[in-house]
Structure 1
Amino acid sequence: MLLTEIAGLPVMDTEEAQSIGQVDSLVIAPRPARVIALRLKRTNGGGTLLTWQYVHAIGPDAVMARVNAREGDEEDLTEHAAACRNLLGRRVLSERGAEIGALQDIDFDPGSGRILSLLTPSGTLAAQGLLGVGSYAVVVQGASHVDRGHLDTGS
């Protein structure tokens, strides 16, 4: 599933049967590359992060979350969440400092939260090459290219 496919979807509390917000973006962590939270917008009170453990299901029309999903350890995610603000369009750099392009999308497994790949104008990058996510750039290993035969990353 792609981030662009879930952006804007309502997030529903399964027990209260009400919206607690809309998906704005993903909060991701490298090594192993995974989704650790969903960033929410237009929430009805409470925080703006939904930790991955509370995501019950991601459907074509809504994200379903368990009751009290917005309570808990948001403070632990603050640094990751700040680095992941506005991920799409962020620079993607190789570990050698070569610019690969702008991040166009993130492909992830909606069941496990595992990041599968990063999509750029130069092609698709394997998620296992994700080294870091910061406010300036996403850094990947040059050997992580999986879509086109060769990606010149300066290696």
Structure 2
Amino acid sequence: MASPQAIARQGELLNRLVLDRETAEELGRVDQIWMVPELHRVMGIICTTGFLKGKKQMFTLVQIEAFGTDSIVVNSSHTSVNPEDIKPIDSLIGREVWSDAGSKIGKLTDYLFDPATGEITQYLFVARGWSSLTDGSYLLQPSMILGLGSKRVMISNNAAQEISIYTEGLRHKVAKVSSFLQSDYAQTKQDVKSWLGGIQAITSQAKEQLQTLSVQAKEQAQTVGEQLKDTTQTLAEQAQEKSQTLKETLKDRAQLLGEQVKDKTQALAEQAKANASDRAEPEIVVSVQPDTSVIAQPTHTTEVIVDVSPEKPSESAQ
């Protein structure tokens, strides 16, 4: 029996390569899917070999090991069924789909089935006429089928209202594109509006930030100005104090120096006066003449005459 795998589509299996599991030899390609319409079930496959598809082999679902993406692997060791021993293969593909209200809905084109059990899960059909090119394909549940004929299948009118789309046609794609363009236009318009709103919000934020920065800069400038003013005033006061201190210091030093100069001048004056006094005293030259008269001639203009004549004896001496 086939290994469990995803739902298979009948149309995709046609002409697929069939390989023998034991010999890995090619047994042919899928020509038909063997199904029983009344049971809505797949029973096996029929493959053909040769250019003219002369030789046919049938493999039941039990003999199928796997439905691969590139081939179908079968176990040919079991006795295969002779296609000539089975009645002609019947299929619902190509039959028209009608509603019990008398409306032609479309035509069956394919079906989906479970590879593990062979159960047909859904039929595919297209709308009638040229609309099949524009409407795509639709899904039809096997339980919706009320009757089977050689050319038609009948479904209820209520079931026809519940049919869902399987693949989108041109009309759906155009409608979808139109809807997308409309929604995209609306979205683009909304995006542009949001974008403009965002720009406006950003501009407002930038304006507020610039205003805030301007106020902060003004406050900082005012603060710096006040600090500079205080610093300048402090420096001026310090300079004035230092100038006053220096002035007083220079005044004290000048007064002290003046007193020292005065003292030194006075000392020098007194010394000069003393020196002058010493130089003003005359030098006395004493000369003794024979007449015992002593004439003293000063070296300068002062003239002193000293009488050194012998004294007369006193009366007492006599």
Task: Normalising by structure 2, report the TM-score.
Answer: 0.38
Whether 2:126 is the aligned partner of 1:110: answer no
Structure 1 residue 27: Cα displacement: 2.0
Partner residue of 1:10 out of 17, 21, 29: 17
Structure 1 residue 103: Cα displacement: 1.9
Answer whether contact 2:48 2:56 (CA < 8 A) is retained: no
Give the match's secondary structure for 2:69. coil
Q: How does 1:57-76 map to 2 (within 5 A)?
A: 57-68=66-77, 71-72=80-81, 74-75=83-84
Q: Which has the higher strand share?
A: 1
Structure 1 residue 110: Cα displacement: 1.6
Answer whether contact 2:10 2:33 (CA < 8 A) is retained: yes
Structure number with higher relative contact order (C-alpha < 8 Å, ≥ 6 residues apart): 1
Change in CA separation of 1:61 and 1:106 when aligned onto 2, cut-off 3 Å: same
| Percent identical residues | 23
Aligned residues: 142
Whether 2:132 is the aligned partner of 1:127: answer no
Change in CA separation of 1:133 and 1:29 when aligned onto 2, cut-off 3 Å: farther
Partner residue of 1:51 out of 45, 60, 63: 60
Whether 2:137 is the aligned partner of 1:148: answer no
Letter in 1 for 2:115: P
**Which blocks of at least 5 consecutive residues in structure 1 are unaligned?**
150-155
In structure 2, C-alpha distance between the alignment counterparts of 1:129 and 1:66, rounded to whole Å? 36
Answer whether contact 2:57 2:81 (CA < 8 A) is retained: no
Change in CA separation of 1:22 and 1:12 when aligned onto 2, cut-off 3 Å: same
**Which blocks of at least 5 consecutive residues in structure 2 are unaligned?**
1-7, 128-137, 166-318
Deviations 1:17-45 (A, max 9, x none): 11111112312113431101213233697
Give the match's secondary structure for 1:53. coil
Larger radius of gyration: 2
In structure 2, C-alpha distance between the alignment counterparts of 1:3 and 1:93, rounded to whole Å? 19
Segments of 4+ in structure 1 off by > 4 A? 43-46, 95-98, 143-146
Structure 1 residue 95: Cα displacement: 7.3
RMSD: 3.1
Question: Residue 78 of structure 1 corresponds to which residue in structure 2?
Answer: 87
Partner residue of 1:101 out of 84, 102, 106: 106
Answer whether contact 2:31 2:47 (CA < 8 A) is retained: yes
Answer whether contact 2:125 2:139 (CA < 8 A) is retained: yes
In structure 1, C-alpha distance between the alignment counterparts of 2:32 and 2:149, rounded to whole Å? 14
Q: Which has the higher helix share?
A: 2
Question: Residue 153 of structure 2 corresponds to which residue in structure 1?
Answer: 139
Whether 2:35 is the aligned partner of 1:28: answer yes
Change in CA separation of 1:54 and 1:95 when aligned onto 2, cut-off 3 Å: farther
In structure 2, C-alpha distance between the alignment counterparts of 1:51 and 1:103, rounded to whole Å? 24
Give the match's secondary structure for 1:5. helix
Answer whether contact 1:93 1:138 (CA < 8 A) is retained: yes
